[in-house]
A and B are shown apart, each in its own frame.
Chain A
Amino acid sequence: MKLLVPVKRVIDYNVKPRVKADGSGVDLANVKMSMNPFDEIAVEEAIRLKEKGVATEIVVVSIGPAKAQETLRTALAMGADRAILVQTDDAVEPLAVAKILAKIAAEEQPGLVVLGKQAIDDDSNQTGQMLAALLGWAQGTFASKVEVSGDSVDVTREVDGGLETVKLKLPAIVTTDLRLNEPRYASLPNIMKAKSKPLATKSPADYGVDTTPRLTTLSVREPSKREAGVKVGSVDELIDRLRTTGVIG
């Protein structure tokens, strides 16, 4: 079984995003960029499925600027087999990403597409579900456990009240949540080896997908700040204050 793993290049999760002074967006100039953490979990899960003998080949794909190559090389260094870069400098919305991925899935015929539940930049949480709809496949979102058996996969999902397990017919889409696994670091020899793994470069036009955005960002601002309050010296003082506010009787 082949696995398709879409990955996105985003601001590194340790960097605090700064809103541009003109309110046009978030400043990404000279900011450290990395693989979206949820996608890293997806790559790791794919590698584990290959190590278990469930999967035979892992194809990673990224839709983004030329520099998204670095993200793909990271995935190759972790253990993916080959990569596809759909190169564009335009911002591509989840719907268009899903359309491109649907075309790639039609070409590659994966048994499973594993991807992050959301990207930590736009926080949309849409691509996997949209891709499932476009392909008419089943979806296992927010996965904390993935078990493939025969022509189906059991996905344990992190839902509001706890955990839920669904059985999906293959091929299917799985989106990853935080507790699915802990991604490995790529070793130096593997980073070197990844440089010679195949990486194909395509464009959205190659897939006949119109990436014109449907949403226009009118403004981006800082969230309203919360003022720090007072520090109290004792539990009694805390209780007094709470009683004054009326939240406790």
Chain B
Amino acid sequence: MKSLVLVEHENGDLKDATLSAVTAAAKLGEVHLLVVGDSVSGVAEAAAKIAGVGKVHVAEDAAYAHQLAENVAPVIAQLMGHHDAFVAPATTTGKNVAPRVAALLDVMQISDVIDVVDADTFVRPIYAGNAIATVKSSDAKKVLTVRGTAFEKAARDGGSGTIEAVSGSGDAGLSSFVGAEIAASERPELTSAKIIVSGGRALGSGEAFHQVIDPLADKLGAAVGASRAAVDAGYAPNDYQVGQTGKIVAPELYVAVGISGAIQHLAGMKDSKLIVAINKDEDAPIFQVADIGLVGDLFKLVPELTEKL
């Protein structure tokens, strides 16, 4: 079986989400990659070095610069003539484009795959992770999005893929990119960080959120996350949100500060290796999943922890 994996990249960097998708695709057989973008030869070269990859297809056009699904999906659909499965990371880019590809191919997509059983059978969470379904597809070709936290990252070197240019139809004339507000941060990215410090509604204000959470994150070299309650209250921006409707993370260490542990938050972080919870309510549900719990006033405990680390 031959898979085509969509390479996720930004500003010339190949993102980790790609590496997990390669691991998932490798379970199906041969792995080919697709890099779509504008001036992406550097990304293609990096992609060709990923362990175990065969061909790296590269489609370059100004119309592909912002991964607009209307322009990118036809490129993928065309390449699927020679592939048996399309695999995209379950990122906002992958989730945007994959179903468009699936419909063009008349295939029922399997979203958020967390395990590959065989060429037709996949495991995925449903009901916000409250249930895990094993599904078998009868489609001749497969379209999958895969959850990065569920698969090891393939090695960034050791591969010797061959790069091959493909021509696409370019601009479909349906959509254009206007602009982006992408938060610039010195901190690691949430979905690939080894350590995450997340704040909840108990922080009480945006100011307190930064005063308490940021120094601890800086000390640990951690990414900063937030619960939906904290985001909805305006204490933290939306892209900080960890949970079923935000980002799904599984770092080595997850520190939950002032987070009660609503189902929707737990769905986004319960696969973390080590969970530490700091909360004043000893009955908070977060303690049911935490490996180490500390009950008390976060405004005292967190600065103390930051200082002593």
Chain A: residues with CB nearer than 8 A to chain B?
11, 16-17, 19, 26, 93-95, 98, 120-134, 136-142, 144, 154, 157-169, 172, 177-179, 213-223, 226, 228-232, 234-236, 238-239, 241-242, 245, 247-248
Which partner residue on chain A sits nearest B282 by CB separation? A231
The tally of residues in B whose CB lies under 8 Å from a CB in A reads 87
**Is chain B's binding surface mostly helix, strand, loop or mixed?**
mixed
Q: Write the nearest CB–CB distance from A212 to chain B, whole angstroms.
A: 9
A selection of 18 A-B contacts at a CB cut-off of 8 Å is: A17-B131, A95-B102, A122-B126, A123-B128, A133-B73, A160-B91, A160-B239, A164-B177, A166-B176, A169-B173, A179-B232, A214-B108, A221-B132, A222-B131, A223-B129, A231-B292, A232-B293, A248-B309
Nearest neighbor of A170 in chain B, beta-carbon distance: B174
Given the complex, which residues of A lie within 8 Å of B263, measured CB to CB? 16
Binding site for A on B (CB under 8 A): 10, 66, 68-70, 73, 91-93, 95-104, 106-112, 121, 125-139, 173-183, 191, 195, 220, 228, 232, 237-239, 244-245, 247, 252-253, 263, 270, 273-276, 282, 287-295, 301, 304-305, 308-309
Could you say which residues of chain B place their CB within 8 Å of the CB of A126? 99, 102, 109, 111
When distances are taken between beta carbons in the complex, the residues of chain A under 8 Å from B245 are 177-178
Given A138-B174, A217-B133, CB of A161 within 8 Å of CB of B239: yes
> A154 touching B103 by the CB < 8 A rule?
no
Are A220 and B132 in contact, CB atoms less than 8 angstroms apart?
yes
What residue in chain A is nearest B73 (Cβ atoms)? A133
A220 contacts B99, C-beta separation under 8 Å: no
Given contacts A162-B180, A228-B289, A229-B292, contact A223 B238 (CB under 8 A): no
Whether A245 pairs with B111 at a CB distance below 8 angstroms is no
Out of A223, A231, A235, name the residue touching B130 (CB < 8 Å): A223
* Complex: A80 Cα to B244 Cα, angstroms: 29
- Do residues A125 and B95 form an inter-chain contact, with CB atoms below 8 A? yes
Q: How far is the CA of A213 from the CA of B104 in the complex (A)?
A: 17
Q: Could you tell me if A218 and B136 are in contact, using CB atoms closer than 8 angstroms?
A: yes
CB pair B289 A121 closer than 8 Å: no
Contact of A133 among B99, B111, B282 (CB under 8 A): B99
Instruction: Report the separation of the CA atoms of residues A217 and B122 in the bound assembly, to the nearest whole angstrom.
Output: 10
- Select one of A123, A125, A159, A168 contacting B99, CB under 8 A: A125
Chain A residues positioned under 8 Å from B91 (CB to CB): 160
CB pair B292–A238 under 8 Å, yes or no, is yes
Contact A236 B308 (CB under 8 A): yes
With A129-B103, A160-B92, A218-B135 already in contact, the answer to whether A169 and B108 are too (CB < 8 A) is: no
> Are A242's CB and B175's CB within 8 A?
no
A169 touches B175 (CB 8 A): yes
B contact residues around A220 at 8 Å (CB): 126, 131-134
User: Which of A213, A216, A235, A245 is in CB contact (< 8 Å) with B304?
Assistant: A235
**A-B complex: 4 closest residue pairs judged by Cβ atoms:** A229-B291, A129-B99, A133-B103, A214-B108
Q: When chains A and B are docked, how far (Å) is the Cα of A94 from the Cα of B10?
A: 30
- A214:B183 contact, CB within 8 angstroms: no
- Which chain A residue shows the least CB distance to B304? A235
Chain B neighbourhood of A216, CB < 8 A = 135-136, 138
